[in-house]
Structure 1
Amino acid sequence: MGNFTMRRTSGLTRVAVGVASLALATAACGGTSSEAGNEDEGGGKEKGLAIAYDIGGRGDQSFNDAAYAGLKKAKSEFGYATADIEPTEGETDADKVQRLTSLAKQGHNPIIGVGFAYGPAMEEVAKKYPKTTFGIVDSVVEGDNVASLVFAENEASYLAGVAAAKATKSNTVGFVGGVDVPLIHKFEAGFEQGVKDTNPKVKVLSQYLTQTAEEGGFSSPDKGKAAAEAQLEKNADVIYQAAGLSGQGVIEAAATEKKWAIGVDSDQYKQGALAKYKDYILTSALKDVGGSVYALAKSVEDGKPLTGTQTFDLEADGVGLSESNPGFAKIAGLSDAVAKAKEGIIDGSIKVRTE
């Protein structure tokens, strides 16, 4: 149990952050996919890892796709039948309870809810299936058989802020958050601190797309595009988005104006569906959701299931900043500034805010 960080079991978690780029870009996006999900034909194989997606589903090129990459890795390594199930539009906690219960009844282990929205449902279902290991991404749920997979998004966002401050020519940068909730505040707080610590003269414009996830903040590229266009009109020339599927609209808007976008969760420069915009994706604040999914699956396979709060931070390579775009290295002082900031966060000399 306990609040120990993943760095104590670093052998388990040093899964390349790049695992996220394995995600298939062709699957359905949006929350209207069938509830049946993508249950593999097991052909009599034992049932292993199952994941239940958050809003936006597979194909978001970001958060959910990163989780799917972890599932693909576990499936190929352990040779068992997996399942990944899409959310439905406007669903309730009862729908989530039903989904998790169904996966547990089918014999899947572990079962991971991708996103903090699974919190209440997981608390209820995990108690009923004590022999099954459950995992939740981005939330803490108490339970002897639950692993809470949380990340230091503020640390990766700080590095994104450093990059934005080094790349801006207008001294105005933007942040677009999907939903106005504490989790996304962590992204904004780290980003703004990284910008200001690097260059106090840079102005940060911030906008949240919706107050609740039900209003589509994580699943509406049109909302992301409109928000980014408003910031571009106010002179922003680098925009960081933490908005799930909606972030694709932010990237499109920035690229159309030949300005920089900063991706999130997955290395969005490498995502096939975003290829036409990639020259304008400066970097991405990485969050190794795939690595956390795989780590939990491996712990169950090894007979030593992880439980309690597992924190994936910069020191454990659980978060980071991508440097895939060749343009990143061409901006004067950028790589050095990011490396120095990373060192400061890891040694504790830089304390990154969460609010």
Structure 2
Amino acid sequence: MTTIKTLMGAAATLALTAGLAAADAHSSPGLIIDLGGKFDKSFNESAYNGAQRWVEETGGEYAETELANEAQREQTMRRMAERGANPVVVLGFANGSTLDVVAPDYPDTDFVIVDMVVDQPNVKSIVFSEHEGSYLVGMMAAMASETGTVSFVGGMDVPIISKFACGYAQGAKAVNPEMNVIVNMTGTTPTAWNDPVKGAELTKSQISQGSDVVFAAAGGTGIGVLQAAADADILSIGVDSNQNYLHPGEVLTSMIKRVDNAVYDAFTAAAAGELETGISVMGLSNDGVGFALDENNEALVTPEMIAAVEDAKAKIIAGEIVVHDFLSDNTCPAY
């Protein structure tokens, strides 16, 4: 089912199964939310929050669809385009190959994909420097660790998640070259994004191996990681959205990935007729990634940590520190 989100949609959502008449009339944007659900407290929810912020600030409207399974990818993109949504914003790297096929069939529709590059003239590709943000939280993990072992739980075992893990390991070992970094992935299918029970099991196993700080980059699975860490009274690190609030005083920080800004900016640019296709990279230099500091974790983050990561951030932006990007060669020098 596709829904229309408007300013009144916070109180009542108008569900349309026959078409997107309101969206068609105004060439409103469309948002296709990836597997795992829009309230995953992570990647998808960040995107949804960006769209809602745009609605609240502009009074605009947009069409929204959540994918329920892999088979819906192509059909959903085509339906959104045929019903007049423009641009069509697609979330997640797994949509890349499908969009590469679909976009040429709708040359008058602009598409935006978050987390993947699709080389088509009517596609804007937004990617993030996750390895840079992960480097910073890896430094914080190493500085907070008392055991000399930190860990990482990824969702689906795909290169982009290894990009998080590798950046994290590099940051931890920049603080202490002897730091032990345990890396586990949840699975090899999309169900790995929404398996909090498995996430908790992996976390418990890592704790048994000495980890006292765990970073989750696993979508909804990460909720189980953070819960298991809190239950064991060790520190965790959230991802994408600011997840510090989930376990106040137990979440060291969150590696924020501003998917919300990516969606908000795409909607805003399109409404102004200024959406530019091509590749856009969101990293430390333009606040595309970073770490979260608020009332929920301020007691955990020492002045020394802040000074160290701010110094590293400046050096990464200046090119004085180069964080290896796993996607460049599918290797990680920190393992």
TM over 0.5: yes
1:343 is matched with which residue: 303, 314, 318?
314
CA distance in 1 between partners of 2:85 and 2:164 (Å)? 33
Q: Contact 1:39 / 1:85 at 8 angstroms: preserved in 2?
A: no
Name the counterpart of 1:7: none
* Alignment-derived partner of residue 15 in structure 1: none
* CA distance in structure 1 between the aligned counterparts of 2:254 and 2:50, rounded to whole angstroms: 18
1:38 aligns with 2:9: no
Residues 1:167 and 2:147 aligned together: no
Q: Match for residue 296 of structure 1?
A: 266
Quote the offset at 1:222 in angstroms: 0.7
Q: Secondary structure of 2:220's partner?
A: helix
The alpha-carbon deviation at position 249 of structure 1 amounts to: 0.5
Superimposed CA distance per residue, residues 201-247 of structure 1 (whole angstroms, 9 cap, x where no aligned partner): 2110110111232xx11111111111001001111000001100100
What's the counterpart of residue 120 of structure 1? 97
Q: Which amino acid aligns with 2:317?
A: I
RMSD: 1.5
Counterpart in the other structure of 2:83: 106
Q: Is the 8 A contact 1:239 1:261 kept in 2?
A: yes
Instruction: Tell me what 1:326 maps to.
Output: 298
What fraction of aligned residue pairs are identical, expressed as a percent?
Answer: 38
Q: Number of aligned residue pairs: give it.
A: 309
1:192 aligns with 2:163: no
Q: What does the per-residue CA deviation read over 1:80-127, in whole Å, with 9 as the maximum and x for residues that have no partner?
A: 3212211113x22xx211101111122111111110111122112211
Cα displacement (A) at 1:354: 1.5
1:245 is the counterpart of 2:220: yes
1:78 Cα deviation after fit: 3.3
Q: Which has the higher contact order (CA 8 A, sep 6+)?
A: 1
Aligned with 1:327: secondary structure?
coil
CA distance in 2, matches of 1:81, 1:133: 17
Summarize deviations over 1:170-190 as a string: whole Å, max 9, x none.
111001111111101110110
The code of the aligned residue for 1:323 comes to: L
Please name the residue that 1:11 is paired with: none
Post-superposition shift, 1:44?
A: 4.3
Picking from 50, 60, 71, the partner of 1:70 is 50
Q: Secondary structure at the match of 1:351?
A: coil
1:43 to partner: Cα distance:
8.4
Contact 1:178 1:217 in 2 (8 A): yes
Unaligned runs of 5+ in 1: 1-35
| Matches of 1:105 and 1:79, distance apart in 2 | 24
1:5 corresponds in structure 2 to: none
After TM superposition, the score normalised by the length of structure 2 is: 0.89
- Choose which of 228, 235, 242 in structure 2 pairs with 1:267: 242
Give the match's secondary structure for 1:278: coil
Normalising to structure 1: TM-score of the pair? Answer: 0.84
Give the match for residue 232 of structure 2: 257
Aligned match of 1:17? none
Equivalent position of 1:179 in the other structure: 156
Q: 1:157 aligns with which of 121, 128, 134?
A: 134
Mapped to 2, the partners of 1:169 and 1:70 lie a distance apart of 37
Query: Residue 192 and residue 160 in structure 1: after superposition, are their counterparts in 2 closer, same or farther (change >3 A)?
Result: same
1:280-302 Cα offsets, whole Å, 9 max, x none, are: 11100111001011111122112
Contact 1:328/1:334 (<8 A) preserved? no
Does the CA-based 8 Å contact 1:282-1:327 persist in structure 2? no
Q: Rate the CA distance shift 1:341–1:127 in 2: closer, same or farther, 3 A.
A: same
Once the two structures are TM-superposed, the CA of residue 304 in structure 1 deviates from its matched residue by: 1.8
Q: What CA distance in whole angstroms lies between the structure 2 residues aligned with 1:186 and 1:54?
A: 20
CA offsets 1:150-184 (integer angstroms, 9 cap, x no match)? 00000000001010011001111001111111101
Amino acid corresponding to residue 321 of structure 1 in structure 2: F
CA contact (8 A) 2:249 2:300 kept: no
Task: Tell me which moved more, 68-77 or 165-174.
Answer: 68-77
Runs of 4 or more, structure 1, over 4 Å off, are 42-45
Amino acid at match of 1:77: E
Is the 2:139–2:309 Cα contact (8 Å) retained in structure 1? yes
